[in-house]
Amino acid sequence: MNSDIKRIGVLTGGGDCPGINAVIRAVTKTAMNDYGWECYGIRDGFLGLIENRIEPLAWDQCSNILTRGGTILGTSNKANPSRFAVGKDKNGEPIWKDVRDKAMTHYRAHDLDAVVVIGGDGTMSCAATMIEMGGRFVGVPKTIDNDIMSSDLTFGFQTAVEIATDALDRVHTTAASHHRIILVELMGRNAGWLTLNAGIASGSDVILIPEIPYSVDKICEKCYDRKLHGKHFTIIAISEGAKPVGGVQTIKRRIADSPDAIRLGGVAHVLRDELEELTHIESRAVVLGHVQRGGSPCADDRVLATRFGHAAIELLANKQYNELVVMQNAQLGHVPIDSVANQQRLVNPEDELVAVARSVGTCMGD
C-alpha cells in the first residue's frame, strides 16, 4: 500500500455522459477495497472545490450506480478555477478571477492526498492549472465527442453512437415514405467522430463533419444522383460543428460567464433551407441534442468506465500522479495531464473510417 495516500477526492466536470457513475463506482470501491483509502465526493466539478462542497463517500453510496446515467456528484462546465466568473461589471460583462488558491485551501482543509478528475479536455485543462498549484490529480477521459488527445476511446462515446445510430435508423423510414431529405444534427463540437461513426453505422447517404468543409453543390449532386437511381430520399448525418467551404460554423448562442462561451448548433436547419431551395425536394432537420448524452450506458461503456476507474487508482497506488488514463491501440496506458490540456483530437480527413465511408458510396460533402 502507498503510505502517501490515505484520502482521495473524486469530481466530475464538463457535460454529463453515460458511464460517469460507473467510473465513480470503480474508483471508490477499488480505493476502499484494495487500499483502505477514504473517499470524498466533490460536488459539481471544480465548483465544489472552489465553494468547499466536499463530503465523504461511503461504499453504499457508490453501489447500484453502475447502470445509472448522469453523475451522482453533479457537474459544471463553467467552473474553471483559473478563470472563474465572480460577478458582473457595470456593463453586464463577467468579472473573471483566478481562484485556484481558494480551491487549494479547500483541497488541503479536507486532507486530500489526490483527486480523481473525470472529464473531457476542458476539465483536464482545469486540472493542469491546479497541478501548477501543487495539487495531485489523476484523470479519466470522459466525453461523447471522443476528442481527448492521446486516447483512441473515451467512455460515453459508444453509448452516444448507439443513440445517434438509432435516431438515424428511425428517420430512414419516414424519409423514404415521404421522399424527403432529412438531416440529423449530432453533437461533437469541433470533432466529427460521433457523426462519422453513427453515419457509417446507419448507412447515411451523406456524412458532414467539421474536419471536411462541405460544398452544398456536392450534396445536391448526391441527392440528384440518388433520385436518378430510384432513391427518392436522402439521409444526412451532420455534425453541429460542420461548416461550408470558405464559411464558418453555425453558432447557436454564447454563454457570457462560461470560459468556453460558444455553443454550436443550428447548422442542420441552415443547410436544410439551402437544399430545399436548390433541389426542390422537401427537407426536414432533426437536432438530436442532449438525448445523445442521457440514459444508461451501453455494456461496452460500462466495462470501459470500470477499467478506467480501476486504472486511475492503480496510478495513484504506484505514485504516478498527474497522469491521464488513456486507451491506445486497445491497451490501457497513461500520459501526463498537461500534455492533453487545451487540445482536441480531431478526425484526420485521411482516416481509415473516412476512406471506408467513401468506398461504400457515402458523400462526405467535398
Alpha-carbon distances, residue 30 vs 33, 231, 298, 309, 311 (angstroms): 5, 54, 22, 8, 9
The mean pLDDT value for 265-275 works out to 94
Residues 279 and 162 in one domain: yes
Residues 217 and 330 in one domain: no
φ and ψ of 53, to 5 deg: -105, 80
Q: Read out DSSP for 122-157? A: HHHHHHHHHHTTT--EEEEEB-TT---TT-S--BTH
Residues 111 and 165 in one domain: no
Helix or strand or coil: residue 84?
Answer: strand
φ and ψ of 359, to 5 deg: -65, -30
Residue in the block written with cell 460583462: 93
Q: What is the pLDDT of residues 206-247, one digit of tens each?
A: 999 999 999 999 999 999 999 999 999 999 999 999 999 999
365, part of any domain:
no
Q: What is the pLDDT of residues 255-265, one digit of tens each?
A: 777 767 678 88
The Cα–Cα gap between 323 and 335 comes to 5
Residues 325-359 as b or e (16 or more Cβ within 10 Å = b): bbbeeeeeebbbbbebbeebbbbeeeeebbeebee
Q: What is the pLDDT of residues 65-94, one digit of tens each?
A: 999 999 999 998 889 999 998 888 888 888
CB 347 within 8 A of CB 172: no
Alpha-carbon distances, residue 301 vs 17, 206, 236, 312 (angstroms): 10, 27, 26, 16
CA count, 13 A, side-chain hemisphere, 172: 15
pLDDT given for residue 259 in this prediction: 66
The Cα–Cα gap between 319 and 330 comes to 24
Residues 65 and 168 in one domain: no
Rg (CA), the chain: 22
The Cα–Cα gap between 309 and 299 comes to 15
Q: Are strands 283-287 and 181-186 parallel, antiparallel or unpaired?
A: parallel
1, part of any domain:
no
Q: What is the CATH number of the domain that holds 249?
A: 3.40.50.460
Mean pLDDT score of the chain? 94
pLDDT given for residue 3 in this prediction: 60
φ and ψ of 175, to 5 deg: -65, -45
2, part of any domain:
no
Residues 97 and 211 in one domain: no
Assess whether pLDDT exceeds 60 at residue 99.
yes
Confidence class of residue 346 from pLDDT cuts 50, 70 and 90?
A: very high
105, part of any domain:
yes
Indicate whether this model's pTM tops 0.75: yes
Residues 126 and 163 in one domain: no
Catalytic residues: 145
Q: Which domain holds residue 59?
A: 7-155+299-339
272, part of any domain:
yes
Q: What is the pLDDT of residues 298-338, one digit of tens each?
A: 999 999 999 999 999 999 999 999 999 999 999 999 999 99
Q: Sign (positive/negative) of CA torsion 264, 340, 83, 291? A: positive
pLDDT given for residue 93 in this prediction: 87
The mean pLDDT value for 52-58 works out to 96
Q: Which three cell numbers stand for residue 14?
A: 464538463
Assess whether pLDDT exceeds 70 at residue 357.
yes
φ and ψ of 55, to 5 deg: -145, 155
Residues 116 and 173 in one domain: no
Alpha-carbon distances, residue 182 vs 33, 66, 225, 242, 246 (angstroms): 51, 35, 16, 16, 24
The Cα–Cα gap between 232 and 179 comes to 5
Confidence class of residue 159 from pLDDT cuts 50, 70 and 90?
A: very high
Residues 26 and 138 in one domain: yes
Residues 233 and 147 in one domain: no
Q: What is the pLDDT of residues 102-156, one digit of tens each?
A: 999 999 999 999 999 999 999 999 999 999 999 999 999 999 999 999 999 999 9
Please report, as a single letter, which amino acid is at residue 220.
C
The Cα–Cα gap between 138 and 223 comes to 48
Residues 145 and 272 in one domain: no
User: Per the structure, how many domains does the chain have?
Assistant: 2
Q: What is the CATH number of the domain that holds 137?
A: 3.40.50.450
| Partner residues linked to 273 by β-bridges | none
332, part of any domain:
yes
Q: What is the pLDDT of residues 285-300, one digit of tens each?
A: 999 999 999 999 999 9
Assess whether pLDDT exceeds 60 at residue 1.
no
pLDDT given for residue 77 in this prediction: 84
366, part of any domain:
no
Residue 320: which residues within 8 A CB-CB, separation 6 or more?
138, 334
Helix or strand or coil: residue 9?
Answer: strand
Residues 247 and 319 in one domain: no
88, part of any domain:
yes
pLDDT given for residue 114 in this prediction: 97
pLDDT given for residue 250 in this prediction: 86
Residues 186 and 267 in one domain: yes
Residue in the block written with cell 465548483: 47
